[in-house]
A and B are shown apart, each in its own frame.
Chain A
Amino acid sequence: MEQNFQHLYDMLSQVQGFIYPNELDLQWGLLIVLYPYITGLVAGAFILASLERVFNVKVLGPTYQLALLTALAFLLVATMPLVSHLGHPERFYEILMTPHSTSAMAIFGFVYLWYLMVVLLLEIWFDYRQDIVIWSKETKGFKGRIYKILTLGVTDLSPSTIKWDDKIGYFITVVGIPSAFMLHGYVGFIFGSIKANPWWSTVLMPVIFLFSAMVSGIALVLFIYMAVSFFRKQKIDMPALDSIAKFLFYILVIDFTMEGLDQIHRIYEAEESFEILFLLVHGPLFLTLFVFQIFLGTVVPLISLGTLQLYKPSEKIRKIIYLSCSLLVLFGIFFMRWNVVIGGQLFSKSFYGFTGYKLHLLGSEGFLFSIIWVIIPFFILAFLLWLLPPWKKVGQHENN
């Protein structure tokens, strides 16, 4: 039994100042960093897709389905880090069966299911229905059987039905935009509503989460689009890529402004918690906040993408810049989640000291187990692209 506590005894040496005795062990580790990260990728990718469909940004056409499938691939695993970190994962259904009406966390299951079932699955199904019916007739074997099941028995391809598919798809996207906002704004609220924690408790938290989600989702689609084109040996549609990068730049500006506003507000108000938060960002969070999140993840992409809005070098150079920026943004937003989740637990609620966090390689909260939840979505996406290749689509929705 003593062995199990060894890591906690080791941790005692990392404590600086005073912490409440129960605060030594961090309650939320890497898995809970991944939860808002993955959910954010989903919301961001979806919002990019809806830009094309609802806001009629036709130039983004080549990435519409890719963005939707990316959102789905990540959404399918979004709950897994959350469920697997529970003390009693087998009781997770209680959150759906007996949700507590006053809890900010209780509604997550419903928001998630709404988004998965009503928004994403339906939108993809209506968008692909015509193709699924055609493919179910053309394809043989196992794949053909999957298509047959996916038609759900609806094989009508008359022009009026296809028009209806399109109308319903459009309607779902319209509903989907506020849903995507809700999904991630809500995740921000889970943290922002904890008044016990001054690092989390800010009314801007849902807004910051939302914009950082959009930033990360757009960066992800940008990266995946380039990667998929590379593997398929297809020429990249440069106007589409330029537009995605332009949106990434705009949203990044808003995101950075919001986060800056939050920090300026904290610094100017300098409440009771100011000293401990000052020590937090200059000590345990220095590397992950100033270097990873702000410098590499925000300032470098902002300057690079901003420059490209004024000056356009050759395609090759632009591609390299876009690729690096998308990876840097994904890296930076990961550390933004890290700084919120881990940073918020490093200081004591007594404001008199810090505990430490050591990421283990193995174990249920360890690095290897957690990283699985980031890798699996790429396999799911590969499967989805094999099953529903956007480049083989016949049916294209009209822009309403």
Chain B
Amino acid sequence: MSNEEIGKSRRKFIKKAATVGSLLVTTSLFTPFNAVVYAVERPKDPSKTWWGYGIDIEKCIGCGRCANACKTENNIPKQPFYFRTWVEQYTIKNDGTVKVESPNGGIDGFVQSVPPEDIFKAFFVPKLCNHCYKSPCVQACPVGATYETPDGVVMVDETYCIGCRYCVQACPYGCRYINPAKNVADKCTLCYHRISKGKTTACVEVCPTHARILGNLNDPKSPLVKFMKEHTCLVLKPHLNTGSKCFYNALSGEVR
């Protein structure tokens, strides 16, 4: 092939590549790529609710009543492998090592297994679905059975879920499980059946120390907003950018 011919075929190739490239760009303008989806945006109207949750680690005494009440209220299997909410006991030892325990999700209470002289500090961390507004689970669900309500609660449609378990893999917080009776993904609903009627969640209701706070993030007067103003609050695994709406006071760096 002469140099001229090579030049010609190159020009042809560049022309073709440019056409294909510009076609791709044009089509992508019509259907914007929305993988990182803000499934539901925070309502602009201040009268609309945007549910969030607060946990005051300093107040939690590890009684486990919340986890128990949740199982009763929501008819969760009693076996110790299925929890919509549970409590973890963190013990930081003097040598810097961390011991975490959550026997039966804390329902039966805790026994400190580390001798007192070895303990640097210890505390309880209640866990539940973080009702993220950039939820990895909602993003991953292949059929859209997991969704966010307009008021910011992540839910599962059990009549629609195919049980592929991708959402369980996608949740960084271990908040999902497969309901053994229904064979579908299950998780905290923030007691939607209660909060939509003006009640509070079962776990908040039974907490004897007010370590758990449910609130409307859109209402400046809500107890949650007050709690967040008065404390330095953090979310779990902030680097994953899940948009968690579960805010912890006194969250230690060891907690994952």
Q: Which positions in A face B, CB cutoff 8 Å?
A: 4-5, 8, 12, 17-25, 27-28, 85-88, 91-92, 94-95, 98-106, 108, 190, 194-197, 345, 348-353
CB–CB A87/B162 < 8 A: yes
A85 to B138, CA, bound (A): 21
A98 to B144, CA, bound (A): 8
A79 to B80, CA, bound (A): 33
Give the size range of B's interface with the partner: 35 or more
B251 at the interface (CB under 8 A from A): no
* Nearest residue, chain A, Cβ from B162: A91
- Which of B37, B105, B180, B182 has most chain A Cβ within 10 Å? B180
- Inside 8 A of B169's CB, which chain A residues have their CB? 27-28, 194, 196-197, 345
CB–CB B256/A88 < 8 A: no
Chain A binding surface, main DSSP class: loop
User: Ordered nearest first, which 5 A-B pairs have the shortest CB separation?
Assistant: A87-B163, A20-B174, A87-B183, A196-B172, A18-B100
- Inside 8 A of A106's CB, which chain B residues have their CB? 142-143
* Nearest residue, chain B, Cβ from A196: B172
Task: Give the contacting residue for B160; candidates A8, A94, A196; CB below 8 A.
Answer: A94
A-B contact pairs, 17 of them (CB 8 A): A20-B173, A20-B174, A21-B86, A21-B104, A22-B177, A23-B174, A88-B161, A88-B162, A88-B183, A98-B143, A102-B37, A102-B138, A102-B140, A103-B141, A190-B166, A194-B170, A196-B240
Given A18-B102, A102-B35, 6 new contacts (CB under 8 A): A8-B79, A21-B81, A21-B105, A25-B178, A108-B142, A352-B256
**In chain B, residues 59-108, which have Cβ atoms closer than 8 Å to a Cβ of chain A?**
79-83, 86, 88, 98-102, 104-105
CB–CB B136/A196 < 8 A: yes
With contact pairs A5-B81, A102-B37 given, residues A349 and B142 touching in the complex (Cβ less than 8 Å): no
* Nearest residue, chain A, Cβ from B136: A196
* Nearest residue, chain A, Cβ from B177: A22
A351 to B34, CA, bound (A): 30
A27 to B102, CA, bound (A): 21
- Inside 8 A of B37's CB, which chain A residues have their CB? 102
* Nearest residue, chain A, Cβ from B169: A194
- Inside 8 A of A24's CB, which chain B residues have their CB? 81
- Inside 8 A of B173's CB, which chain A residues have their CB? 20, 349
B233 at the interface (CB under 8 A from A): no
* Nearest residue, chain B, Cβ from A5: B79
B175 at the interface (CB under 8 A from A): yes
